[in-house]
Structure 1
Amino acid sequence: MDCYKLKRLLKKEEGPKIDFKAALNLSTEGEKKELTKDVIAMANSRGGRGYILLGIEDKTKKILGIDPKGYKEEQIQQIIYNRCDPPVPISVDFVQLEGKTVGVITVYKSSHKPHQMIQNGAFYIRRGSTTDIARRGEIANLFQENGLMTYETVILKNLGMEELDFTLIKDYFKTLNVISDNPSDLILEALGIIGQKSETEKYHPTIGGLLLFGKNPSLYLPHVYIKVVCNGETRMFFGNILKMLDDVSGYMRSIIKTERYPFNALEEVIANALVHRDYLDVTKGIVITVTEKNIEVSNPGALIANNSVYSFSRENNPDRRNPWLYQRLLTLDPKRRFMKSGLGMKRVKISFKEIGTVKFINIGSQNLFKVLLPIEATQGVNIDTKS
């Protein structure tokens, strides 16, 4: 940490990855826990490194300075090590600015999330500039993003097997070269489509099984939908993943009246939204907004920990939020549309290069990922909402 970097940090406002403190008192157990909570929350929140700046008034960002003798790096590391599981790596630096000493605690990006307070078992995250206890869905998302659980294989114990479309399941088995008029429960369980809590209980669909083969998943997962908004009119699409993709793709072709538009690239963006969306976020679904200038695909699910907008748009194999779904959609979709989704979004940019610039926007604070696809009037695009 140097003076130049510190000045850049001071230009920012407090948020998930930056916090200003006038002083840091570590004489009581409560004060030590408060520091650990802030460090845990920064480590658990999306993004890169976090910074706690000491000797800065939080409202005005006035430089107050600290006495560095009262802030030993070994002591701070030990405080966090004894109260955090797994421990969060940090460093402590002191920088001279305007004749005063500013302390900087750097909270390094963690590959071992989620971190937990040992004393009370709580998980913390940052909500804007505030440290708060993570909710159940947020904790589950942290575990899923870091490969510690698979949301898709959670058993829906209140649903019966009749909620699955076994015609679709038989078609899936044919793609696997398995011919069976009545696939056994053991095979379906091994594939993660169904499950049972114990050997004495009945089988029930999993969330992934319902998303892929359900007759009407939105009855039980009401956030699973695609909403298309065009010129003030709204059309809702429900069903399993492939049905929604087919129906929305057909609708988009009907309202954009030109064969010159790169519909395959648009379809790839929608397929990516379906396979990468955060199904733990029950507050919203996928929203496609069509205007005269662009098509915006808004997807619940900011990029997961190891991805950036740059890597997601260029890399051949970005990290995936829902690997179980992705692996099955590769073989389940007869049109092979999810084969393309393993190539990042570089292909989409190339497809639209004659029309305009494709934009990728990651909004971690709102748990959203947006793709803006251009529409040029010179391309003969004619939006028709009456279709």
Structure 2
Amino acid sequence: MDCYKLRRLLNKEEGPKLDFKEELNLSTESEKKELTKDVIAMANSRGGRGYILLGIEDKTKKILGIDPKGYKEEQIQQIIYNRCDPPVPISVDFVEIEGKTVGVITVYRSSHKPHQMIQNGAFYVRRGSTTDIARRSEIANLFQENGLMTYETVILKNVGMEELDFGLIKDYFTTLNVFSDNPSDLILEALGIIGQKSETEGYSPTIGGLLLFGKNPSLYLPHVYIKVVCNGETRIFCGNILKMLDDASGYMRSIIKVEGYPFNALEEVIANALVHRDYLDVTRGIVITVKDKNIEVSNPGALIANNSVYSFSRENNPDRRNPWLYQRLLTLDSKRRFMKSGLGMKRVKKAFAEIGPVKFINIGSQNLFKVLLPVEPKQGSNTYANS
């Protein structure tokens, strides 16, 4: 950390990865816990390194300075180590600026999330510039993103087996070269499609099983839908993932009347939204908004912690939020609409090259990923059909 980097941080506002403090008192246990909470929250939040600047007035960003003798790096590291599981890597620097000394605690990007306060068992995240206790869905998301749990194989114990379409399951087995009119429960359980809570209970579908083979998953997972908004009209598409993809894609083809429009690329964007969305976010579904100049596909689920838009578009095997779903959809979908690598973004951009630029927008603070696709209306005619 040097004066130039410090000034760049001071030009920013407080947020998930930046906090200003006038001073840091570490004489009591409660003060030590407050520091640990802030460090845990930054480490658990999406993005790269976080910074806590000491000796800065938090509202005005006025440089007040601190006495560096009262801040020993070893002491601060020990405080974090004794109260955080697993420990978060940090460093402490002191920078001279405008005749005063500013302390900088750097919270390094962690590959061992989620981090937890040992003393009370709580997980913390940053909401804007505020440290807060993580909600249940946020904790589950942290575990899922870091490979510690698989959301898709959670058993829906209150859902009966009759909610599965066994015709679809039979088709899936056929693609695996397994021919059976009535696959055994043990095989279905081994594949993660069904499960049982205990040996005395019957079988129930898993979340993934319902998403892929359910007759009407939205009855039990009401946030699983695609909403298309065009010309003031709204259409909602429900069903298993492939049905939603087929229905929404067919509708988009019926309303967009642009000669030579790359519908296959649009369909790939919708497919990627379905397989990469955050199914733990129960507050919203996928929304496609058709406007005069662009089509916006808004997907609940920012890129997971180890990816950025840049890296995701270039890596052959980027980290994925729902690997269980992704692997099975590659086999299930005969139309091969689910991208095989991060190069899918490049394919979409190339497909729209003659129409206009494609924008990928990752909004970590809102847990959203948006794709903006250009639309080129035919001269002298309406772009969209009356629906």
TM interval, shorter chain, is over 0.9
Structure 2 partner of 1:118: 118
How far the C-alpha of 1:199 sits from its partner, in A, is 1.2
Q: What TM-score, normalized to structure 2?
A: 0.98
Please report how far the alpha carbon of residue 121 of structure 1 lies from its aligned counterpart in structure 2 after TM superposition.
0.4
Q: Judge which range, 369-378 or 150-159, deviates more.
A: 369-378
Q: Output the CA distance in 2 between the equivalents of 1:265 and 1:131.
A: 40
Unaligned 5+ runs, structure 2: none
Q: 1:259 to 1:181 in 2, by over 3 A?
A: farther
Structure 2 Cα separation of the partners of residues 259 and 279 of structure 1 = 35
Whether contact under 8 Å (1:95, 1:102) holds in the other structure is yes
| Contact kept? 1:256, 1:382, Cα under 8 Å | no
SS at match of 2:305: coil
Deviation, 1:150, is 0.1
1-structure distance, mates of 2:181, 2:230: 43
Q: Work out the percentage of aligned pairs sharing the same amino acid.
A: 90
Measure the CA separation in 1 of the matches of 2:28 and 2:255.
Answer: 65
Distance 1:338 1:381 in 2: 33
3-state SS in 1 of match to 2:371: strand
Structure 1 segment 293-308 matched on structure 2, within 5 A: 293-308=293-308
Given that 1:317 and 1:342 are in contact with CA atoms closer than 8 Å, whether structure 2 keeps it comes out as: yes
Asked if 2 retains the 8 angstrom alpha-carbon contact of 1:375 and 1:381, the reply is no
Q: How far off its partner does 1:344 sit? A: 3.4
Structure 1 residue 224: deviation in Å?
Answer: 0.1
SS of the residue 1:341 aligns to: coil
Query: Higher mean Cα deviation, 349-358 or 334-343?
Result: 334-343
Alpha carbons 1:316, 1:344 under 8 Å: kept: no
Structure 1 vs Structure 2 CA RMSD: 1.2
CA contact (8 A) 2:258 2:376 kept: no
The alignment partner of 1:342 has SS state of coil
Alignment of 1:283-322 (within 5 A): 283-322=283-322
- Identify which range, 285-294 or 369-378, moves more after superposition: 369-378
For 2:349 and 2:381, the matched residues in 1 are separated by: 18
Deviations along 1:18-59, one digit per CA (max 9) or x if unpaired, are 000000000000000000000000000000000000000000
Measured at CA, do residues 379 and 219 of structure 1 come closer, stay the same or move farther in structure 2, by a change above 3 Å?
farther
3-state SS of the aligned residue for 1:125? strand
Q: Report Cα offsets for 1:67-98 as digits up to 9, x if no partner.
A: 00000000000000000000000000000010
- When structure 1 is superposed on structure 2, of 375-384 and 288-297 the one drifting more is 375-384
Whether the 8 Å contact between 1:230 and 1:385 is mirrored in structure 2 is no
Q: Give the secondary structure class of the aligned counterpart of 1:331.
A: helix
How many Å apart are 1:242 and its aligned residue?
0.1
Cα deviation for residue 169 of structure 1 reads 0.4
**TM-score normalised to structure 1 length:** 0.98
Report the alpha carbon displacement of residue 182 of structure 1 after superposing the two structures with TM: 0.3
Q: Does 1:139 align with 2:139?
A: yes
3-state SS of the aligned residue for 2:313?
helix
Distance 1:365 1:380, change over 3 A: farther
Distance in 1 (alpha carbons) for counterparts of 2:303 and 2:107: 20
3-state SS of paired residue (1:143): helix
> Contact 2:318–2:341 at 8 Å: present in 1 too?
no
Deviation, structure 1 residue 316: 2.4
